[in-house]
Amino acid sequence: MTIPDSAADAIRHNPAQNDPMVTFERVTKRFGNDEKSFVALDNVDLVVGRGEITGIIGRSGAGKSTLIRLVNGLEKVTSGRVVVDGTDVGGLGETGLRSLRREIGMIFQHFNLLSSRTAFDNVALPLEIAGLDRAAIKAKVGPLLELVGLADRASHYPSELSGGQKQRVGIARALATSPKLLLSDEATSALDPETTQSILALLKRINAELGLTILLITHEMEVVKTIASHVAVMDVGRIVEQGRTFDIFTAPKHETTRIMLAATSGTTLPEWLKTDLRQTPSAGDRILVRLTFLGATAFQPLTARLVTEIGGDVNILAGAIEEIAGEPFGTLVVAYPATPDTIARANRFYAETGLSTEVLGYVA
């Protein structure tokens, strides 16, 4: 059976709705020549779902920027493939890359706005590059500035705008060519927490209203928790864990994820307690356990029952209810005597309620 050309074209340009937007297939990236080459990405497999917000989190130098720069061909893979909406990026020449880049918006940590251009003209730049005439540009830029809430700042230069406003201009500029994918490299890292939240809210809105796929990289847990539906955790060039943000953050499997989570969640232990913490119990010690539970409403009854089930000698050392990818999730750190019967009673209670637990250690 043959498919008419026109139909084939239609299929090519309208890939199935559940096809991923970006796939990394066994991607390795080396910098430098053979003898002293440096492996920045090591056999990375990753899928970025269409219409979703995917976060990549990792420490400085983990290879996040390198990874995102492969998507629009600013960097080339050493081996493996990066496929964007059905197109193998590595197979494109300069011309092909340029037209791909016009379909991918990008925003940056330091905004990268032209200081010599007003907000309006900065947003106009990608359209000028694409060869649109002045009238068409004008028709597009106005609504974009409106969308990011800067209609009244059109004639301001970047030096006359706050950090948050600059990033809004950056977002409007990234959206100018109506891209299907938005790449964000630490877009909120130079902003204060409040401004960060407003920029994240804007990205979330754009994702929901325009159905735009967003791939963002960050070293801030808070960013991923707030807007990413999916997350990949990177450590020294490898993806150590990936999946739904809620699953990864409520049940982190890899040490790197745990460390990063501990640094941001409300359940960090005080320093003195950490230094006193031992991994093996001695007589008279108390056991420290971290309990995690889903749903905000579970908090009150849980703490109450814990005390009655285990006995009066329970301390609650830390506790927090957070929201991860829009779902509430609680953590509680408790301490009680490390005696066999108390532990047995507690474990019975955990099994019965389905709480997940982690023994943190023992203190005198």
Chain residues binding other proteins by CB under 8 A are 72, 74, 97-102, 104, 106, 108, 110, 112, 114-117, 125-126, 128-130, 157-160, 177, 183
Strands 104-108 and 181-185: parallel
Report helix, strand or coil for 235: strand
Question: CB under 6 A: which stretch of 31-39, 135-143, 201-209, 303-311 binds ligand ATP?
Answer: 31-39
When the beta carbons of 165 and 265 are compared against other proteins, the nearer one is 165
Separation between Cα atoms, residue 319 and residue 296, nearest integer Å: 12
Sketch the per residue contact string, 114 through 153, with ligand ATP: x for CB under 6 A, - otherwise. ----------------------------------------
Dihedral sign computed on CA atoms, order 94, 98, 101, 103? negative
- DSSP per residue, 100-140: HHTTEEEEETT----TTS-HHHHHHHHHHHTT--HHHHHHH
The nearest distance, CB 28 to other proteins, in angstroms, is: 20
- Residue 109 within binding range of Mg ion, rule CB under 5 A: no
The nearest distance, CB 31 to ligand ATP, in angstroms, is: 3
When the beta carbons of 60 and 116 are compared against Mg ion, the nearer one is 60
- Whether 231 and 54 have beta carbons less than 8 Å apart is answered as yes
Termini Cα distance of the chain: 77
Sites for Mg ion among residues 42-81 (CB under 5 A): 65
Partner touching 60 among ligand ATP, Mg ion, other proteins, none, CB below 5 to 8 Å by kind: ligand ATP
At 166, which amino acid appears? Answer: K
Separation between Cα atoms, residue 154 and residue 169, nearest integer Å: 9
When the beta carbons of 44 and 176 are compared against ligand ATP, the nearer one is 44
Interacting residue ranges for Mg ion, rule: CB under 5 A: 65
Residue ranges in contact with ligand ATP by CB under 6 A: 31-32, 38, 40, 58, 60-66, 219
